[in-house]
């Protein structure tokens, strides 16, 4: 009967009754009540945060198609203003024919590339990992490879893959979920996302006065706001490309650097292969100065399947 009595004694001690064992002080009943209330508040706060995140995911799924339509409308409005108002106004002001044809050709080139890269970023799947193999398949495979399984979507989870709570699936080399394309940015569509931002930034605000026309004024404001936003976002993604990181890995690596610094060590991103190789990991084996990478319909595709990536330790010494 010693075990039941010991259990009963412990329960009484938790409730604030009885005498504590020798060498221990009995906590006051008020302290126990405060601890319980704190634990209840923490549980309630955790549930509220989880509920808010679930509501945000639902909101992004609902607003995604609307934001895509809004983006297409804004691009179309600015293009309409350029071709139907600005170009005729340039012709009326006596702009030479070669200059006018050059403006038209450049405008068409930028517009086609904006719409092509945007359509590819929206429609192309970011990169879904293969199904997790069964026990028989896992034994038949290479035993040196440690396969991970996502506990949410139950698919394979290769290196650099993360689970998207909005898409409800894992994405290979996931960068983030972008509501403006209603899709995740991952291994398959990251270069199209970057090129879309690049060509969108090239569409600079026209040099006209605000009083010229309402459409020109509104297009000028839209273009200026987009340009300023892309200077920040595009600059950040340019840094990520040359350092071979994703947005998620950027935050993870920052934490790893701080932890290593406290230990007196130096942390290095294992996927940082140098600026040239990092660039080719995103835009394919195309030379930067040839500028063929700016036309993905002509350039070579990035190598690899998204399930594995070269690391610094795998590089051959020069």
307 conformational bin, left if phi > 0, alpha if psi -120 to 50, beta if neither: alpha
108 is catalytic: no
Question: How many angstroms separate the CA atoms of 189 and 167, rounded?
Answer: 15
Q: What angle do CA 302, 306, 309 make, to 5 degrees?
A: 85
Count, residues in the chain:
318
Angle at 275 between CA 163 and CA 247, to 5 degrees: 25
Please tell me which residue in 170, 178, 184, 194 is annotated as part of the active site.
178
The Cβ of residue 147 has, within 10 Å, a number of other Cβ atoms equal to: 14
The answer to whether 248 touches 162, Cβ cutoff 8 Å, is yes
CA dist 275 to 39, 95, 220, 262, Å? 49, 43, 35, 28
Helix (H, G, I), strand (E, B) or coil at 307: coil
**What gap in Å lies between CA 219 and CA 104, rounded to an integer?**
17
- What gap in Å lies between CA 191 and CA 180, rounded to an integer? 16
Residues acting as catalytic residues: 178
């Amino acid at each position: 009967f010693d075990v039941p009595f010991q259990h009963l004694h412990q329960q009484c001690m938790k409730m604030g009754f009885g005498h504590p064992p020798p060498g221990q002080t009995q906590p006051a009943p008020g302290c126990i009540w405060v601890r319980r209330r704190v634990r209840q508040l923490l549980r309630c706060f955790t549930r509220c945060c989880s509920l808010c995140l679930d509501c945000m995911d639902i909101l992004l799924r609902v607003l995604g198609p609307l934001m895509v339509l809004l983006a297409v409308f804004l691009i179309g409005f600015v293009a309409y203003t350029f071709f139907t108002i600005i170009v005729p106004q340039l012709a009326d002001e006596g702009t030479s024919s070669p200059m006018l044809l050059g403006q038209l050709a450049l405008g068409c080139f930028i517009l086609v590339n904006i719409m092509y890269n945007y359509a590819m970023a929206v429609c192309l799947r970011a990169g879904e990992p293969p199904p997790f193999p069964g026990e028989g398949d896992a034994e038949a495979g290479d035993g040196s490879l440690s396969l991970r399984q996502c506990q949410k979507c139950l698919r394979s989870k290769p290196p650099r893959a993360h689970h998207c709570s909005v898409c409800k699936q894992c994405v290979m080399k996931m960068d983030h979920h972008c509501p403006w394309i209603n899709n995740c940015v991952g291994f398959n569509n990251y270069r199209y996302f970057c090129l879309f931002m690049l060509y969108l930034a090239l569409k600079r605000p026209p040099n006209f006065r605000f009083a010229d026309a309402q459409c020109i004024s509104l297009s000028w404001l839209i273009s200026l706001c987009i340009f300023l936003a892309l200077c920040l976002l595009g600059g950040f993604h340019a840094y990520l490309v040359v350092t071979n990181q994703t947005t998620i890995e950027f935050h993870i690596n920052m934490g790893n650097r701080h932890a290593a610094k406290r230990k007196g060590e130096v942390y290095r991103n294992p996927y940082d292969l140098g600026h040239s190789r990092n660039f080719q990991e995103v835009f394919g084996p195309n030379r930067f100065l040839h500028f063929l990478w700016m036309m993905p319909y002509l350039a070579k595709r990035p190598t690899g399947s998204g399930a594995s990536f070269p690391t610094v330790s795998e590089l051959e010494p020069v």
